[in-house]
Amino acid sequence: MNNLLQLLLIEDSADDTELILRELRKNGFAVAATRVDTVEELRRALPRGGWDVILSDYSLPAFDGLQALEILTESGLDIPFIIISGAIGEETAVRLMRAGAKDYVYKENLTRLAPVLRRELTEAAVRRERIAAETALSESRRQEEAARSKIEHIIRSVPDGLIVCDEEQRVVLINPGAESLLGLSSETAIQRQVAQVIREKSLLDQILQARIAIEDPVKTHLELSRRDGRSPLVIEARTSRMKDARGEPSGSVTVLRDVTYERELERLKSEFISTAAHELNTPLTSIIGYLELLLQHDLMQVTEPEQQREFLEIAHAKSRQLAAIVDELLDLGRMESGQGMTIHRDFHMLEPLFEDVMKRLRQQAPNHFFELSLPDDPTIRWYLDPLKISKVLENLLENSVKFSPAGSTIRLVADVDGENFHCSVADEGVGIAADKIGKVFDKFYRIDASNTAKGGLGLGLSIVKQIVEAHGGKIRLESTPGKETRIAFTLPRQA
């Protein structure tokens, strides 16, 4: 044999050891032997590993073959154990075989040793191969189960709805996203025909048609009513054919994506473009008209200085209105590009800032009453960007003017409480319905988008929120329809 036989020999006789080794070499074995004859030596030798076979005398001065077998069994090693001894009784031989000995050979008949050893080495190799195969199979199953569990976890975690059908149009998988969107339960849907599960006709038709689709996925949009009575959900459904490892059709997978928000955003953007064009055109038309009157003052009989000044003031006011619209559009561009809101903060006195804003609003809205309440200490300074906070106050006050009747009162209240500065603007206007309060800070959102609605791009409060949050503050809105609206924000002393 070409391989070196690693032999652990339990034997107290040097002469018997030489006889055994000579018999093995005579039969073609290349042997590397280690001899032990005590329990301690055996316990030290076993963990070294690499043993191909153990040959053991039955009777030794310090212990016997049965004890050696027990020590081997305790170690958990799978090593062929063969007894080589003098005459032993039949009862002893049975005990040894039951304890785990593979065979026994009499020392007077060592010619049996080589055939027995070859047989046991072959069987040991077969056992190792079988154990290795079983281990590999077990590991493969473990990995397969782990992969399946991971895939199931991913599928269950995907926010989009997933419906998988086999070639017989049975539902084989439905994830929580699909359950929620379609009001289904996987317990009642799995292994049922898809026609018995899906109630939406357009979706069912799409899944059924996927069987005859060549390559391109089938896509449609459908509306699903909500249980709470709100506007329906808009769902994009995309169905694709599945193929097995051989490229043969094996079913279909349908992905359901809630695009309600995207559709609403598209609608708002479309309205915004129309509104922006109108809002830009209105002051621009006035500016052009009054300037044309002034340029043709002789022809149009606009010769009085007071009248000319009036026309210039109107054109100037409309120019400021136009500039404010452009400013909002620039702010929107910065937000849409991900630049966020740039602020330049320092410590500034609050009273002059508030009084300046209030003065401008009183001039702009002479038909409204304004009340201003400030902290008792006029020297209070706060860490803020004065231009941006002025813009917040102007926007909130202008909104109050826009949505409250002439002759009503608008209150601007500011106060300092420890490390926080509190400010609120309250009016006596039309108020806001409860279901719309959560949207007022969204970009493009306008409470009334009809042709008779108040002017504006639907950006003001969104920009206000950006400025407040850029200061590390928070903003909230409270409203009672038909009575009042109050918007309050808080700024920390130094964010």
Looking at the fold, whether 69 and 94 belong to one and the same domain comes out as yes
Query: Which CATH number is 188's domain given?
Result: 3.30.450.20
Q: Which of 229, 261, 293 is the last residue of a domain?
A: 261
316 has pLDDT over 50? yes
Residue 151 lies in a domain: no
Backbone angles phi, psi at 408, to 5 degrees: -85, 165
How much of the chain, in percent, has pLDDT values that exceed 90? 30
Looking at the fold, whether 126 and 251 belong to one and the same domain comes out as no
Q: What is the pLDDT of residue 452?
A: 37
How much of the chain, in percent, has pLDDT values that exceed 70? 87
Looking at the fold, whether 232 and 253 belong to one and the same domain comes out as yes
Residue 141 lies in a domain: no
Q: What is the pLDDT of residue 450?
A: 44
Sheet with 233-243, side-by-side order of all strands? 171-174, 161-165, 249-258, 233-243, 218-224
Amino acid present at 117: L
Looking at the fold, whether 64 and 110 belong to one and the same domain comes out as yes
Query: Which CATH number is 370's domain given?
Result: 3.30.565.10
Section 449-459 average pLDDT: 50
177 has pLDDT over 70? yes
Q: Which of 213, 246, 261 is the last residue of a domain?
A: 261
Residue 147 lies in a domain: no
Q: Mind listing the pLDDT tens digit for each residue in 186-214?
A: 888 889 998 898 888 888 888 888 777 65
Q: Which of 83, 115, 131 is the last residue of a domain?
A: 131
207, 198 contact by CB (below 8 A): yes
| Sequence-distant (≥ 6) Cβ neighbours of residue 229 within 8 angstroms | none
Looking at the fold, whether 237 and 283 belong to one and the same domain comes out as no
Looking at the fold, whether 99 and 34 belong to one and the same domain comes out as yes
What is the pLDDT confidence band of residue 371, given thresholds at 50, 70 and 90? very high
Domain extent, residue 246, equals: 158-261
Looking at the fold, whether 109 and 210 belong to one and the same domain comes out as no
225 has pLDDT over 90? no
Query: Which CATH number is 275's domain given?
Result: 1.10.287.130
Section 36-63 average pLDDT: 91
Query: Which CATH number is 59's domain given?
Result: 3.40.50.2300
Looking at the fold, whether 62 and 180 belong to one and the same domain comes out as no
Looking at the fold, whether 353 and 484 belong to one and the same domain comes out as yes
Residue 136 lies in a domain: no
Q: Mind listing the pLDDT tens digit for each residue in 82-124?
A: 999 887 888 888 888 898 999 999 989 999 999 999 999 999 9
Residue 145 lies in a domain: no
Look at the chain and report how many structural domains it folds into. 4
Alpha-carbon gap, residue 182 to 351, rounded angstroms? 57
User: How would you class 114 by CB atoms within 10 Å of its CB: exposed for 0-12, middle for 13-18, buried for 19 or more?
Assistant: middle
Looking at the fold, whether 194 and 86 belong to one and the same domain comes out as no
Residue 83 lies in a domain: yes
Would the CA dihedral through 164, 167, 169, 171 be positive or negative? negative
Q: What is the pLDDT of residue 328?
A: 66
228 has pLDDT over 60? yes
- Token readout for 341 is 């809101």
Residue 92 lies in a domain: yes
Looking at the fold, whether 394 and 370 belong to one and the same domain comes out as yes
Looking at the fold, whether 382 and 485 belong to one and the same domain comes out as yes
Residue 143 lies in a domain: no
For residue 217, give the DSSP letter: P
